Amino acid sequence: MKAVQMIAEGSPDVLQYVDIEMPVLGNGQVRVKAESISVNQFDAWVRSGTFPMKAPLPLILGQELCGIVDAVGQGVSSVTEGQRVVVFRDFLQTHSGCYAEYVVADESELIPIAEWVDIDEAAAYPLAYLTAYHALHTLGHLKSGHTVLAYAPAGGVGMAVTQLAQQVADVTTIGITSSEEKVAFAKSQGYTHVFNYKKDDVVANVMEVTNGHGADLILDSVAGAGFARNFDMLAPLGLIIWFGAAAGFPEANITELMGANLAKGPGVRLFRIFNSIAQPYPELFQRSKLEVAGLLDEGKIKPYILRRMPLSKAAEAHALIEGGTTVGKIILKP
């Protein structure tokens, strides 16, 4: 079968489209024929060497796909052959991801998907929407009247934040992005306010639209040199959730920043869904997977698909993501 392997850390060119052996089906597992594979910023971080956790090479990237159950191993009771499912997995732990024509998955990695749900949207939702769900609710304790600020509002998690926040009454959402095109897109997705950090005084604008209160919850997937300004935009007893490093690790000393803002009582949480939720709290993770899948089934959330590309063009997809101009999700088609 065909798959895309990462043969070394580096540029998108380290992704190679190769022939590999069909994975062997074991007890408690199913084989899924991939129909749609989602590309995430996280995949690019691992490929480039930005993410600190490593896995043996060569490595198949990809945390999520949607496809059809092709074969069922002994002991599997929740799905049957021919059923549509999502595979959602931590490829750093399994050492094998979803950039492949077929994937063997444990039963616990599966999410049944209704037949009426678009298969590309199904592939695009798990990582972004479950990350946003747990950031907003499990960690952020979102409630009516809160203000949520999210970086990269035109990206997968950014779109999920505003769509999920709209399920709670009277929540204000603020996005911070890098271009007027992304400002317009984020507003079209439902953000209350969106600011372009390349031309706007973001801190002043955020404090203005919150009447000097600041954001109760800040979701930062960018970090880098701009991480320090989060404390200037944070409400008293507010929480910053740091879950990505598109601009690198924070350049400022976080302990010093917290000390300098002692009067606000700020909180900072680091978050990665698999390590923070899935592994230590498997029952909570399973419940959230079904709850968010239900929102997808009902049309209450809807990932935006920017582009569909052949699996063989995975390197090109990574280059597009790293170019910083994309909105929504890119899907690979085997």
6-38 per-position pLDDT tens digit = 999 999 999 999 999 999 999 999 999 999 999
Are residues 101 and 193 located together in one domain of the fold?
no
Q: Which two tokens stand for residue 157?
A: 């998690």
User: Is 84 inside a domain boundary?
Assistant: yes
Q: Which residue has the tokens 């880098």?
A: 224
Predicted structure pTM score = 0.95
pLDDT band at 324 (very low <50, low <70, confident <90, very high): confident
The CATH number of the domain where 160 resides is what? 3.40.50.720
Concatenated DSSP letters for 42-90?
Answer: HHHHHHHT-SS----SSB---SEEEEEEEEE-TT--S--TT-EEEEE--
**Domain housing 57:** 2-125+303-333
Calculate the average pLDDT of the chain.
96
User: Is 217 inside a domain boundary?
Assistant: yes
CA quadruple 326, 318, 301, 33: dihedral sign: positive
DSSP E strands, 116-206: 147-151, 172-177, 193-196
Are residues 120 and 151 located together in one domain of the fold?
no
Are residues 134 and 120 located together in one domain of the fold?
no
d(CA 266, CA 51): 26
Are residues 119 and 133 located together in one domain of the fold?
no
> What pLDDT score does 197 carry?
95
CA angle 179, 186, 192 (to 5 degrees): 115
Cα separation values, 64 from 6, 87, 99, 111, 304, Å? 17, 5, 9, 10, 16
Q: Which two tokens stand for residue 92?
A: 């750093």
Say if CB 215 and CB 140 are below 8 A apart.
no
Are residues 78 and 179 located together in one domain of the fold?
no
User: Tell me: the pLDDT tens digits for 285-300?
Assistant: 999 999 999 999 999 9
User: Is 285 inside a domain boundary?
Assistant: no
**Number of domains composing the chain:** 2
Are residues 148 and 246 located together in one domain of the fold?
yes
SS3 32: strand
User: Tell me: the pLDDT tens digits for 152-200?
Assistant: 999 999 999 999 999 999 999 999 999 999 999 999 999 999 999 999 9
User: Is 103 inside a domain boundary?
Assistant: yes
SS3 8: coil
Give the pLDDT mean for 97-103: 98
Q: Say whether pLDDT at 116 is over 90.
A: yes
User: Is 201 inside a domain boundary?
Assistant: yes
Are residues 181 and 262 located together in one domain of the fold?
yes
Q: Say whether pLDDT at 325 is over 90.
A: no
Q: Say whether pLDDT at 246 is over 90.
A: no
User: Is 95 inside a domain boundary?
Assistant: yes
Cα separation values, 43 from 200, 246, 278, Å? 30, 12, 18
User: Is 296 inside a domain boundary?
Assistant: no
Q: Which two tokens stand for residue 209?
A: 């639209």
Are residues 204 and 258 located together in one domain of the fold?
yes
Are residues 249 and 211 located together in one domain of the fold?
yes
Query: In angstroms, how far apart are the furthest CA atoms of the chain?
Result: 60
Pairing of strands 102-106, 29-39: antiparallel
User: Is 298 inside a domain boundary?
Assistant: no
Q: Say whether pLDDT at 227 is over 90.
A: yes
> What pLDDT score does 177 carry?
96
Are residues 33 and 110 located together in one domain of the fold?
yes
SS3 184: helix
> Is 213 exposed, middle or buried, given 0-12, 13-18 or 19+ CB atoms closer than 10 A?
middle
Q: Say whether pLDDT at 50 is over 90.
A: no
Are residues 146 and 11 located together in one domain of the fold?
no
Are residues 109 and 147 located together in one domain of the fold?
no
Q: Say whether pLDDT at 248 is over 90.
A: no
The CATH number of the domain where 121 resides is what? 3.90.180.10
